[in-house]
Every structure is written in C-alpha cells, then in structure tokens.
C-alpha cells in the first residue's frame, strides 16, 4: 500500500545540519509512492550536496531563481504549480522569518510566496499547501520571535509539523531538533487523509489485558494490539483527537495520539470510564479477559513436590463495552459505541448475538486466530440493518475504511458534535 501514490511533493531544504535527515525523508517519500522535486537554498548546499539529493529523488535539483532549464525562466511558478504540497524540511529560524514577512530573495522563498493559496484561478490552479518542519537550537526555538513567527504562520495557513526533543548538534539538549524522517512521513501521510472526523474525540481500547495469578504469573491472550493501534492512527489521520487505552503490548504510540497504559481489565475500565465522559466515539478493540483470579497471591505459588495443583477460583471481569454503551451519554446519542468480537467459529451468529447483548449500534467481528499478531485482517460489520464485509487487507487500510464508515453513520444520524 503506497499512501502517497500520485502525490508530487516539492521538498525544500533550508540551511541547517538537519539537512542530513532530508536525504532519508526524500527516499521515504518516494518509497511511499510520491514523486519528489528538491529545491535547495544556498545555505542548504553547505550541509548536503545537490548531487546527493538528485540521486535520491531521480530529478534535477533546483537552487537558483535564474535557472535557465525552465523555458520561461520561471521555476518559482512552474515548480509550485506542479506540487500537491511544498514541504520545507529542514526549515531554519531564518527561513521561517522569511516566510512570515513574504521575503523572496531566493528560489525557495520565492516559490513559497508564489504558490497558489486557493484553487480555480485563471490557470485553474489548485491550492498548494505549505508544510514546514522546523530545525534549530533550543534557544532559537524558544525565542519569543520564533514563537511569534510560528503563531502567525499558522494563522496564515501554514502547517507546522512540530519539533523533536533530544541531543542537538551544538552539544545542548532540548526542543528544536527536526523530527525524524519516519515521524515526518507519518505526518505527511496523515495530512493528505480526508478529515472526516475533524473536531471529534475518539476513545480506543487495544491489546489484551493481564490478570495476575501471583507476582510472576498471569492470564492473558494472544491479542497484539495492532488493530486497535491502527484504528487510533486512522482516527487521528481523520482529524480527531484520539485517546488510546492500551493493554500490555510493545507497540509504538501512533503520531498525535494520547496513550494510557493499563494492565488488568479493572485498570482498563477505570481509564475508559473517565475518558468516555469527553469522547464522541468509543471503539472497543481490546481483547479483555472475561475472568480473573478471585484472590491473586501476594507471593509466587510454588510447587511442593506432591503433584497437587493449586485450586484457582475465578470471578467475571466487568464488561467495559456494555458499561459504556449503557451510560447516559451513549443512550442519549452523545457517544457512538463500536464493539469488536474476536471469534474462533460461527462469526456471523456470534457477532450478531454479541451486538444485541452489548447494546451497541455497530459490532465488528473477526476470526481471532486468523489475525492475532498479524498485519492483515478481514472484518465483518454487523448492525441492525444487516452485515457488510471488509475483505482481507492491511489493518491500517481496514481501519481507515472503518473510520470512514463510522463518520458516515454519525453524519447520517446527526451525531457529530459541533
């Protein structure tokens, strides 16, 4: 799946040591299906050569506004009109100031100023968004002038992708370093996704729960959390504010998603109940343990050599989905609840029964053994009107389809918050 297939990105490099990251970013954009045209400032060429960027982009690199390779001698017009977006990475403090004041003393700044802000002009120009990935020393980043410039650029319609925190080339540590190429790639992909959940707050549960038997043993299941994490990412891409309540899994948090780590079903219930008070959509993807040991031991249960098996008594765990679905906010339509069912057989019958038992408008079923730990899945959507199949695909692709489906349902019933 190439998320940027058909997209043409103008990648601008201003002066900064973070130019070395632009090489990997260029390669990543192309691997994701985009075509990339590199434009460099004179200062950027002090850190990385045009030859390097040409080899990676498979296109001639532009650096001068007087470049005679353009028949009309107007690369600032031609390059901007071809782009689906202009991405400045790295964007120095000086270049941010240039953008703010509309200065245009080199090709890159001239091109940014000349880019179409709205579509439908005399040449049927499309709007060309501007995205910047700042990169500078921590003191430069924190300086009031930089912060004022960033605020005004945002008001002017520029998308600022934020900065990372950590060691800097100068030897200091703090905010201001350019985001890593993988992070920027996720942000660019998200930028182009339809914002069907803009203004909404989505709560997602993911992964298994762990129910302790003693301090070193417990009961869990094979859920990897990948489906729930993919749904959280897709919801963020769709413009929502996302909270992810995750059981014990070893997965990176999706970009832009707030994560709450929990362990047991009781822990998850407590986190969900609090977060559900402000959510508009609740997607219960987690594979919550149905039972827990009634009285877990404070110390490791040891064998005594007799062959006797310890007698464990179980009690039922709280039903998180049903509890939220029966809450006043869900009953009044303020909170749209989606359940998941991981079955081993009779998927349709079990999913239909679970939807009714939980009292949710939408239940998503899958065959657990066919998907646990894998990157692909197949989904069956069950509601009061019938069923819909989502054929096997990557979990991220399925998550985007599911998020779009949820958005359509909420729009049709007028459940979107203002």
Q: Within its chain, how far is the Cα of 187 from the centroid?
A: 7
Residue 392, classed as helix, strand or coil, is strand
Question: Tokens in use for 173?
Answer: 């540590």
Contact criterion met (CB below 8 Å) for 144 and 105: no
What phi and psi, each to the nearest 5 degrees, are found at residue 327? -70, 155
DSSP, residue by residue, 159-223:
EE---EEEE-TTS-EEEEEPPPHHHHHHHHHHHHS--TTTT-EEEEEESB--EEEETTEEE----
Question: Tokens in use for 344?
Answer: 């081993």
Choosing from 170, 275, 337, 408, the catalytic residue is 170
User: What is the rounded CA–CA span in Å between residue 411 and residue 285?
Assistant: 22
User: What is the rounded CA–CA span in Å between residue 228 and residue 32?
Assistant: 23
User: What is the rounded CA–CA span in Å between residue 318 and residue 290?
Assistant: 8
Dihedral class, residue 176 (left if φ above 0, else alpha if ψ from -120 to 50, else beta): left
Long-range pairs of 220-223 with CB within 8 A, sequence gap ≥ 24:
220/248, 220/289, 221/287, 221/289, 221/372, 222/287, 222/368, 222/369, 222/372, 222/373, 223/247, 223/249, 223/286, 223/287, 223/342, 223/368, 223/372
User: What is the rounded CA–CA span in Å between residue 2 and residue 66?
Assistant: 35
User: What is the rounded CA–CA span in Å between residue 408 and residue 412?
Assistant: 6
Residue 360: burial class (beta carbons within 10 Å; 0-12, 13-18, 19+): buried
Which residue do the tokens 């007028």 mark?
414
User: What is the rounded CA–CA span in Å between residue 348 and residue 331?
Assistant: 25
Whether 112 is a known active-site residue: answer no
Q: Which residues are catalytic?
A: 170
């Amino acid at each position: 799946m190439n998320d940027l297939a058909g997209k043409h990105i103008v990648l601008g490099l201003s002066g900064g040591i973070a130019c070395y990251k632009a090489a990997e970013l260029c390669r990543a954009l192309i691997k994701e299906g985009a075509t990339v045209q590199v434009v460099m400032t004179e200062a950027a060429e002090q850190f990385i050569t045009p030859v390097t960027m040409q080899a990676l982009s498979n296109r001639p690199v532009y650096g001068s506004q007087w470049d005679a390779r353009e028949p009309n001698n107007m690369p600032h017009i031609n390059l901007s009109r071809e782009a689906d977006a202009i991405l400045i990475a790295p964007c120095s403090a000086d270049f941010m100031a240039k953008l703010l004041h509309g200065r245009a003393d080199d090709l890159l700044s001239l091109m940014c100023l000349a880019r179409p802000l709205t579509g439908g002009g005399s040449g049927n120009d499309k709007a060309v968004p501007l995205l910047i990935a700042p990169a500078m020393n921590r003191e430069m980043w924190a300086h009031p002038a930089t912060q004022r410039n960033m605020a005004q650029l945002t008001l002017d319609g520029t998308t600022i992708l934020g900065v990372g925190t950590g060691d800097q080339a100068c030897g200091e540590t703090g905010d201001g370093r350019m985001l890593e190429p993988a992070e920027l790639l996720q942000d660019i992909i998200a930028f182009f996704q339809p914002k069907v959940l803009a203004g909404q707050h989505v709560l997602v549960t993911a992964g298994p729960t762990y129910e302790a038997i003693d301090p070193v043993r417990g009961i869990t299941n094979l859920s990897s959390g990948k489906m729930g994490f993919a749904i959280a990412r897709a919801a963020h891409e769709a413009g929502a504010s996302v909270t992810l309540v995750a059981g014990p899994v070893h997965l990176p948090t999706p970009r832009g998603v707030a994560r709450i780590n929990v362990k047991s079903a009781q822990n998850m219930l407590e986190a969900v109940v609090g977060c559900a008070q402000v959510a508009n959509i609740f997607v219960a993807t987690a594979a919550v343990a149905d039972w827990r040991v009634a009285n877990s031991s404070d110390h490791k249960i040891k064998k005594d050599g007799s062959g006797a098996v310890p007698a464990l008594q179980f009690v039922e765990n709280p039903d998180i989905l049903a509890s939220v679905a029966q809450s006043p906010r869900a009953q009044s339509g303020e909170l749209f609840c989606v359940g998941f069912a991981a079955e081993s057989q009779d998927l349709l019958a079990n999913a239909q029964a679970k939807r009714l038992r939980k009292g949710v408008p939408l239940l998503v079923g899958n065959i657990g053994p066919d998907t646990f730990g894998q990157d692909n899945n197949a989904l069956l959507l069950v509601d009061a009107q019938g069923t819909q199949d989502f054929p096997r695909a990557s979990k991220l692709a399925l998550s985007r389809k599911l998020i779009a489906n949820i958005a359509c349902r909420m729009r049709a019933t007028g459940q979107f918050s203002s």
